[in-house]
Amino acid sequence: MKDTKQQWFKDAKFGLFIHWGLYSILAGEYKGKKTDRIAEWIMNHLDIPAEEYEKLAAQFNPIEFDAEKIVKKAKEWGMHYIVFTSKHHEGFAMYHSKCSKYNVVDATPFRRDILKELQLACEKYEMKLGLYYSQAQDWHDPDGFMYGKDNSHKDYQAYLDRKVMPQLREILTDYGEIALIWFDTPMDTTMEQSQAMIDLVKSIQPNCIISGRIGNQMGEYMTTGDNFIPRLPYEGDWELPATLNDTWGFNKHDHNWKNPDDIIRLLLKINSRGGNYLLNIGPDSLGRVPEGSIKVLDTVGKYVQENAEAIFGTKRVEIYAYELEWAQFTRKDYKLFVHMLEPKVRIELLNVGNHVKRAYLVKDGAELPCKVMTVCEGDSMIEVELPEYLQNQKNYCVCIETEEKDPIFESIKG
């Protein structure tokens, strides 16, 4: 069972993924040809030669980028950590790398160290900062792997020694406390190579968490497939990385935004199963966060903020109510949170193994009438009456406080 041994990660529940690199300039289209795949893969998908692709750096000038604005937004959305692409598969460093000139300070007219600005903003607003780093795929380095291409002639170890290890050292040394390194697509990385990367990370920052995709199942938590919710319960630490539309990097043609209600439901489903939801934004080439994603996240964020007590720091729920349509459940000691996702007149919880103290509305603390009854079979049932003004609403949360530390609800009516 995976264990990060980091309480902040277990408590976090909701994080912001930021995919940003040179691909944001192409925005899903190269020389009139559109990619129908994830936009940060355009170099691979449309076979753009490295000598061509790298010229994009000369155009990268995201004058609208404002690290504080993004971090403040993440905070407002109730997120507790940010994971930023310090280097994606394209091989371009979004920080001032000393061992590769292919970076945002040396190769662009922008010349600002984006990661440094993000670090300072995160420190100012007390936001954990993690870094995505593509360790195996590097489509710019001649010895980096490229998915779907012939890699047999490459000297992967030479690339690791020349670029990966030094760059990991840089991001872990020059940018304050790094909460986690988010490795991805390990491909043919051997156990020894994964171990060497882990050892390096831990030698510099022992508390820095190694994500699930370091390779060879050696990560400290389980990273699920992109956008994939596991069906079986998982007791260890885990995280689900997800997109808000159908791409990670910015794609000007993709307006297929998910519905805020669906995102809220998904977040709670993940949280009730003990996982963190790492939700992505892809800024454009000027550094602007797409309006579509802001709109969705503003709505989701309102729910998360209002009900922070019922999300942040909650524990896995052991009840068999996962597929209920009208609710999702989270819990803390002495508390069961019923997240109401559809309009309902009352809440009825059957076969309750607990003694109930009271019920209240999480967002304002208002007491709700609550009684425990005995149904004709002899089991007990909790009934929370909902005030009329709530009966046609959804997306609010009710807390039921119990005498027992671990609320046990054997089955839920409805």
Nearer to ligand H79 by Cβ, of 289 and 370: the residue is 289
**Position of minimal CB gap to ligand H79:** 37
Look at residue 168 and give its three-state secondary structure: helix
CB of 414 to ligand H79, least distance (A): 36
Stretch 343-382 residues interacting with ligand H79 (CB under 6 A) = none
- For 152, residues 6+ apart whose C-beta sits below 8 A from its C-beta are none
Taking CB under 6 A as the rule, does residue 72 contact ligand H79?
no
Nearer to ligand H79 by Cβ, of 45 and 316: the residue is 45
Stretch 164-193 residues interacting with ligand H79 (CB under 6 A) = 184-185
Nearer to ligand H79 by Cβ, of 241 and 275: the residue is 241
Stretch 254-273 residues interacting with ligand H79 (CB under 6 A) = none
Q: Going by DSSP bridges, is the β-strand pair 356-361/367-368 parallel, antiparallel, or unpaired?
A: antiparallel
**Contacting ligand H79 (CB under 6 A), which of 147, 228, 320, 322?**
147
Q: What are phi and psi of 327, to 5 degrees?
A: -150, 160
Could you count the other beta carbons within 10 Å of the beta carbon of residue 140?
21
CB of 149 to ligand H79, least distance (A): 10
Do the beta carbons of residue 183 and residue 154 sit within 8 Å?
A: no
Sign of CA dihedral 210, 211, 215, 219: positive
The site that binds ligand H79 (CB under 6 A) totals a number of residues, namely: 13
Nearer to ligand H79 by Cβ, of 214 and 368: the residue is 214
Residue 341, both tokens: 């996702």
Instruction: Name the β-bridge partners of 238.
Output: 222, 275
- For 344, residues 6+ apart whose C-beta sits below 8 A from its C-beta are 326, 386, 391, 414
Residue 45, both tokens: 């998908």
Q: Going by DSSP bridges, is the β-strand pair 275-281/14-18 parallel, antiparallel, or unpaired?
A: parallel
- E strands along 31-127, which residues? 33-34, 81-87
Taking CB under 6 A as the rule, does residue 248 contact ligand H79?
yes
CB of 5 to ligand H79, least distance (A): 24
Instruction: Name the β-bridge partners of 381.
Output: 350, 373
Nearer to ligand H79 by Cβ, of 95 and 360: the residue is 95
CB of 163 to ligand H79, least distance (A): 18
Stretch 18-57 residues interacting with ligand H79 (CB under 6 A) = 19, 37-38, 40-41, 45
Nearer to ligand H79 by Cβ, of 241 and 274: the residue is 241
Stretch 190-219 residues interacting with ligand H79 (CB under 6 A) = none
Could you count the other beta carbons within 10 Å of the beta carbon of residue 158?
12
Nearer to ligand H79 by Cβ, of 148 and 378: the residue is 148
Look at residue 252 and give its three-state secondary structure: coil
Displacement of CA 361 from its chain's centroid (Å): 28
Pick from 343, 387, 395: which is nearest to 368 by CA? 387
CB of 200 to ligand H79, least distance (A): 22
Nearer to ligand H79 by Cβ, of 276 and 354: the residue is 276
Residue 327, both tokens: 């609710």
**Contacting ligand H79 (CB under 6 A), which of 148, 206, 365, 378?**
148
Taking CB under 6 A as the rule, does residue 282 contact ligand H79?
no
Displacement of CA 123 from its chain's centroid (Å): 19
**Contacting ligand H79 (CB under 6 A), which of 226, 262, 298, 404?**
226
CB of 130 to ligand H79, least distance (A): 12
* Binding residues for ligand H79 (CB under 6 A): 19, 37-38, 40-41, 45, 147-148, 184-185, 226, 241, 248
